[in-house]
Structure 1
Amino acid sequence: MSQAAVTDQKSIGKSTRRIYFFGALGGLLFGYDTGVIAGALLYIRRELDLTPLVEGVVVSSLLVGAMVGATTAGRLADALGRRRVGMAAAVVFSVGALGAGLAPNAAALVATRILLGLGVGAASVVVPLYLSEMASTRVRGAVSTLNQLMITVGIFVAYVSNALLAPYEAWRWMLGLAVVPSVVMLAGLILMPETPRWLLRNGRETEARAVMARTRRADEVEAELAEIRNVETTTSRRAGLRDVFAAWLRPALVVGVGLAVLNQIVGINAIIYYAPTTLTNVGFSDSAAIYANTGIGAVNVLMTLVAIWLIDKVGRKRLLLVGAVCMSASLTVLATASLLLPEPEGLSLVGVITLGCLAAFIVSFSASWGAVCWVVISEVFPLHVRGAAVGFCTMLLWAANFVVSLSFPVLLDAVGIGWVFLGFAVICACAYGFAARFVVETKGRSLEDIELALRAHTP
């Protein structure tokens, strides 16, 4: 390879890393704002005198905004571009974070968390779209998984900030610090390009070629442009939400909706939002629960790195199947221990088993469903409906999240840890059956190849 070619490759590599980093930064904000409430809630509960139901409302209010944000962002991303909607989400994040940190009462906190949810919902749609459309086929799985990596990093950063601020019970600072990455995200996206597929779809081929030249080898650019053009000739108009329900799109919609909903009801949000609450119920002190939760957050990040390494090697479907088995097993052990062992007085064997099983569940989820769900949802839909379809699936994802987060503290209070987590174990078993029956492998296939196969009614 000539020196000039080597220099070009290095330049492409640097440009690509910057684009992927700022493109995925919305995931960090998504993770921080959803994870920070776990530790903050211990102190909000006391200062604002929250009942179990109001606790659920405070946590789940963010998800109401997320449902609206996801539904709106999908169509806006198709109309205005992925990048512009990402910038709008960053502004909303900033305003919402400041408002939550300054909230004088529970009602104001709920209102500002709904606003934050608009940004979270928009980011959860736009970030996977942006990454999947920016990446080349050979690395699309790993690049799309950066979204989940940033989510787990955001959750971990939230847990660390909770642990550092816990001695001061400074829940307002815990919530307000999200403004820092929000500003970084906005500044970065101002300098980042729009995705080449959206540009080509909107008649801006010269710009699309220039963007591809920053993220592809020279020999890949024209071939990929030709493939996108070939698919684009089959549809010339911009689609709306109604088109998502077309009969020929049904197989993709079943996969997208099924993965989105199951991803949220297998039990992950009971852990992300309420792990400290769960641990205090089995003998941990408040501070010990927060420190243990930080460890769970670190495991979450590490296993997402494993998912990035595996997803383009092992494939999406196999990870889903293995992950569902391991998640169900870990929650079954947790539930059995809670139901059969004596109720703890202080830290005991039940507490140790509970922490171990929560960590095992996080290992399994992060390496499989946590990463694969976002990747597959951003892959299976055709370009002309991708924004609207991903937005619809993500709206249902947040709706499922809302149900879990609102009901968990009430169920925990009513039936106890054992029966709640046994129910989650059964749902994990159902998730295995769904993946085995409906999910088709997309590893190593271009987005256009997946679309053409869907149009031809072939796997």
Structure 2
Amino acid sequence: MKANKNLIFILGALGGLLYGYDNGVISGALLFIHDDIPLNSFTEGLVVASMLVGAIIGSGGSGPLSDRIGRRRLVLMIAVIYIVGSLILAVSQNMPMLVAGRLIIGLAVGGSMATVPVYLSEMAPTAYRGSLGSLNQLMITLGILAAYLVNYAFADIEGWRWMLGLAVVPSVILLIGIAFMPESPRWLLENRSEQAARDVMKITFNDETEINTEIKEMKEISAISESTWSILKSPWLRPTLVIGCVFALFQQIIGINAIIFYAPTIFSKAGLGEATSILGTVGIGTINVIVTIVAVFIADKIARKKLLITGNIGMVASLLVMAILIWTIGITSSAAIIIVCLSLFIVFFGLTWGPILWVMLPEMFPMRARGAATGLATLVLNIGTLIVAQLFPVLNSALSTEWVFLIFAVIGVFAMIFVIKYLPETRGRSLEEIEYDLRERTLGTEPKQIK
């Protein structure tokens, strides 16, 4: 039983690994694509951004779809889309094929970002929801590290097709694995039967009393006669929906994707060679995985908001130190400093903002609109990623590097103020308790209390 439970969460989070891999792999592949397919600064940005455009479409459409057909079926479809996109990238002969492959991959990326956190959150017992929800971010970091390792392995032969095409392997594993995974109990209660929900919860919950309590709370929420659309447009959800979208946007524009997408470019600007630059990203990816593993163990032990604020302080400090030192001694003399500061940034992000966003987004939204609302928030997240991917090369060319990092530091300060003032605390509370509190805290809504 325990092995089955672990397998459910690991395979359920595998979509995050693919998201991380396809995000990280392009940074190394771009160094060699030019030899076979000529790209200028505009078309290079288009290749990077096309995945993000697809992700915006995928995350926006997958939320309502997951509420309609179920989390598991949608992940199955996402795995197929990953496979198709990866194969197209591996055999690309021109820029339009690259863009098409990245766009298709983006549809899967957006879908997995919106669906996987919801699936994990709805499968997990309350006491372990933070840790199990953090598995999505852990898989993302493993995917990024795998991409960096593959980039380094194929750098000598300039094998960018292998770099992009190897995403097929985890895609096939996800396709096979998810076929044997159960559906979310909350979706089953809404769309099938109470017994179907109980059967799944018996796999992931250890306590029959806890199952009974959560089933009771789910039924009380389910008894409120509202459709997904009526909840999404209701005045009582609107403030939380805005907070969730802003939260997701901040996670991306805080600077992490500038590092993930363009770390080799930053290292090259600091005077490192191509192979050394890629090796530097492997080090950053390794640190990201290690600290995210730590985050899995602390996510349910420390308040979510306290973790986020601590992360903001650390990330801003890292960026400020790096900016000041580059300004005083110059970027070509700062390679070691840049590696250390970027690594510290990754440490604080990986412990806090990286995993906690994916834990909190599905926690914040009501059961009947959880997929759609999380999808909308991840749509905004992908817009933030697109903005960073498109603007960072422009800023890095127009401004000196220290000013670019200073801009991200200022954004980090605003993100911390946002967390302190607006973000709710969700640790240690069932999803239904959070939903009742959300309804009661908003104007004109006084539902029955959970007994």
CA distance in 1, matches of 2:341, 2:34: 26
Find out whether 1:61 has 2:50 as its counterpart: yes
**Of 219-228 and 22-31, the range deviating more from structure 2:** 219-228
Aligned to 1:310: 298
Q: How big is the shift at 1:132?
A: 0.1
Q: Deviations over 1:356-401 (max 9, x none)?
A: 1111110010101011111111100000111110010000000110
1:446 aligned onto 2:436 = no
From the superposition, tell whether residues 323 and 447 of structure 1 become closer, same or farther in structure 2 (CA, over 3 Å).
Answer: same
Between the aligned partners of 1:239 and 1:23, the Cα distance in structure 2 is 24
1:343: Cα distance to partner? 4.8
Alignment match, 1:455: 439
Which consecutive unaligned segments of at least 5 residues does structure 1 have?
A: 1-10
Cα pair distance change 1:408/1:47, threshold 3 Å: farther
Are 2:261 and 1:277 aligned? no
Deviation of 1:43 (Å): 1.0
**Aligned residue for 2:447?**
none
Alignment of 1:375-414 (within 5 A): 375-414=359-398
Answer yes or no: is the 8 Å Cα contact 1:244–1:385 preserved in 2.
Answer: yes
- TM-score (normalizing by structure 2): 0.96
Residue 234 of structure 1 and its aligned partner are, at CA, apart by 1.6
Shift of 1:38: 1.1
Equivalent position SS for 2:13? helix
**Counterpart residue number, 2:286:** 298
Q: Read off the aligned partner of 1:50 and give its amino acid letter.
A: L
- Contact preservation (8 Å) 1:53, 1:410: no
Q: Which residue of 2 aligns with 1:20?
A: 9
Over 3 Å counting, the alpha-carbon distance change for 1:227 and 1:61 in structure 2 is same
Question: Residue 115 in 1 paired to residue 114 in 2?
Answer: no
Residues 365-376 of structure 1 aligned to structure 2 (within 5 Å): 365-376=349-360
User: Which stretch shows the higher mean deviation, 201-210 or 58-67?
Assistant: 201-210
> In the alignment, which of 248, 256, 271 is matched to residue 260 of structure 1?
248
- Structure 2 SS opposite 1:194: coil
Distance 1:310 1:458, change over 3 A: farther
Q: Alignment partner of 1:115: what SS?
A: helix
Moved over 6 A (4+): none
Matched to 1:54, the amino acid is T
Deviation at 1:46, TM superposition (A): 4.1
Q: Structure 1, residues 60-95: CA drift from partner, whole Å, max 9, x if none?
A: 110000000001100000000000000000000000
Deviations 1:262-312 (A, max 9, x none): 000011000001000110001110000000100000000011111111111
Q: Which residue of 58, 74, 86 corresponds with 1:85? A: 74
State the shift of 1:246 in Å. Answer: 1.9
Q: Percent of counterpart pairs with the same letter?
A: 46
Measured in 2, the distance between the counterparts of 1:395 and 1:418 equals 30
Distance in 2 (CA, whole Å) between partners of 1:325 and 1:49 is: 42
TM-aligned CA distance change 1:141 to 1:124, over 3 Å: same
Indicate the SS of the match to 2:100: helix
What are the equivalent positions in structure 2 for 1:356-367 lying under 5 Å apart? 356-367=340-351
Select the residue among 18, 40, 54 that pairs with 1:51. Answer: 40
Contact 2:322 2:337 survives alignment (8 Å): yes
- State whether residues 151 and 278 of structure 2, in contact with CA within 8 Å, keep that contact through their aligned partners in structure 1: yes
Q: Secondary structure at the match of 1:166?
A: coil
Per the alignment, do residues 380 and 457 of structure 1 end up closer, same or farther by CA in structure 2, a change over 3 Å counting?
Answer: same
Q: 1:8 maps to which residue? A: none
Match of 1:331 among 316, 319, 342: 319
Alignment of 1:228 with 2:218, yes or no, is yes
Q: Give the stretch that moved more between structures: 246-255 or 441-450.
A: 246-255
Query: How far does residue 430 in structure 1 lie from its aligned partner after superposition?
Result: 0.7
Shift of 1:339: 2.2
Task: Give the Cα–Cα distance (whole angstroms) in 2 for the partners of residues 245 and 393 of structure 1.
Answer: 14
Determine which of 307, 310, 317 is the counterpart of 1:322: 310
Q: Does 1:219 align with 2:203?
A: no
- Partner-residue secondary structure (3-state), 1:67: helix
Aligned-pair distance for 1:205?
A: 1.5
**Whole-Å Cα distance in 1 between the matches of residues 34 and 246 of structure 2?**
34
Q: The residue matched to 1:14 in structure 2 has which SS? A: helix
Instruction: Specify the code of the residue in structure 1 equivalent to 2:323.
Output: A
CA distance in 2, matches of 1:45, 1:326: 37
Deviations 1:221-261 (A, max 9, x none): 222111111121123x4312x63242111332132112100
* TM alignment of 1:119-130, pairs within 5 A: 119-130=108-119
Aligned to 1:133: 122
> What are structure 2's unaligned runs of at least 5 residues?
444-451
Q: Which amino acid aligns with 1:310?
A: I
The 10-residue stretch of structure 1 (223-232 or 440-449) with the greater mean CA deviation from structure 2 = 223-232
Preserved contact between residue 56 and residue 407 of structure 1 (Cα < 8 Å): no
Equivalent position of 1:197 in the other structure: 186
Contact 2:221–2:432 under 8 Å retained in 1: yes
> Does structure 2 conserve the Cα–Cα contact (< 8 Å) formed by 1:63 and 1:399?
yes
How many angstroms apart in 1 are the aligned matches of 2:264 and 2:379? 27
CA RMSD after TM alignment: 1.3
Moved more, 330-339 or 72-81: 330-339
- Listed one character per residue, the Cα deviations across residues 142-162 of structure 1 (whole Å, up to 9, x for unaligned) are 000000000000000011111
In structure 1, the residue matched to 2:235 is 247
Alignment match of 1:29 (pick from 11, 14, 18): 18
Partner SS, residue 456 of structure 1: helix
Cα shift readout 1:189-221 (whole Å, capped 9, x = no counterpart): 100010000000114222111111111123322
SS in 2 for 1:234: coil
* Aligned position for 1:74: 63
Task: Letter of the 1:333 partner, please give it.
Answer: V
Shift of 1:332: 1.1
Q: CA deviation at 1:458?
A: 7.1
Moved more, 226-235 or 259-268: 226-235
Letter in 2 for 1:416: S
CA distance, structure 1, for counterparts of residue 172 and residue 442 of structure 2: 45
